[in-house]
Amino acid sequence: MEESPEIADLDVRRKRLIHRAHYRGFKEADLILGGFAREHGPELSYEEVLMMEDLLGAKDHDIYAWVIGTLPVPANYDTPLLLRLREYRPKVG
């Protein structure tokens, strides 16, 4: 059975997110975003993919500050996905 175009497109977008999340240029963001994307990217819903794409458009230092709670989160980024990122603990080592 052949995949629908929507599912195939979602898979491509998930793979692109995983790659973008790993190569941010800010090590802490790479660890958190990249680790989260590697572990959870393949299972993200369409809505979560949209949230992640939007979040990856923000500056790394801002994302990191929102995740660790040192800056208030703007309303447009205050999503269930960001909450999951805040709860995520990267595997280091």
Helices (H), ranges, 1-93: 5-22, 27-29, 35-40, 46-55, 60-68, 80-87
3-49 pLDDT per residue, tens: 565 667 999 999 999 999 988 888 888 899 999 999 999 999 999 99
Residue 92 domain flag: no
Residue 18 belongs to a domain with what CATH number? Answer: 1.10.150.250
Domain count of the fold of the chain: 1
Residue 24 domain flag: yes
pTM above 0.95, yes or no: no
Residue 93 domain flag: no
Identify the domain containing residue 32 by its residue range.
Answer: 5-87
